[in-house]
Amino acid sequence: MPVVSVSLMNVPGTEAAIGWAGGHCLIADRPEGRAGGMGLGFNGAQLLALAIGGCFCNDLRTIAHRRGVGIASVAVKVHLAMEGDPLIATGAEMVVQCATEDGSDPAALIEEAKAGSMVGCSLPRGIPVQVSVGQG
């Protein structure tokens, strides 16, 4: 079974965290003035919305390559609805604009990406999240 691991640690002099996987990194932080946040990076809701849209974009490109269809452009917007205390995501809407290089209808590519997107398919099923205290 494949496993993906990422690491996060505090950014010295801030209350933000830097996260990385391989050679890629990003900053997670709260908005400026909120619980010590400095607005240095994405908040959790933004990261979740980016995961939904980013996974879809990657899958769309993979499917297009497999089918031999060139994609001229892709634009995706993800709207993440939240409510409650603690605040939780209650739904997501993704709006996809896609144009193929040959002018063909991208609907089949979009539907296949929708049906096979790891993040988009995992969230409705729910996943357990275990939290344990490490030795540091």
**pLDDT higher than 80, residue 84:** yes
Lookup result for tokens 């990076």: 41
CA 68 to chain CA centroid, Å, is 26
Predicted confidence (pLDDT) per residue in 1-38, tens digit = 899 999 999 999 999 999 999 999 999 999 998 889 99
**Most distant pair of Cα atoms in the chain: their distance:** 56
Which whole number is the average pLDDT over 62-71?
97
In this prediction, residue 39 carries a pLDDT of: 93
**How do beta strands 17-21 and 7-10 pair?**
antiparallel
The one-letter code for the residue type at 2 is P
Which whole number is the average pLDDT over 87-93?
95
**pLDDT higher than 80, residue 50:** yes
Q: What is the DSSP string of 47-76?
A: HHHHHHHHHHHHHHHHHHHHHT--EEEEEE
Fold of 43-126: GMP Synthetase; Chain A, domain 3 (3.30.300)
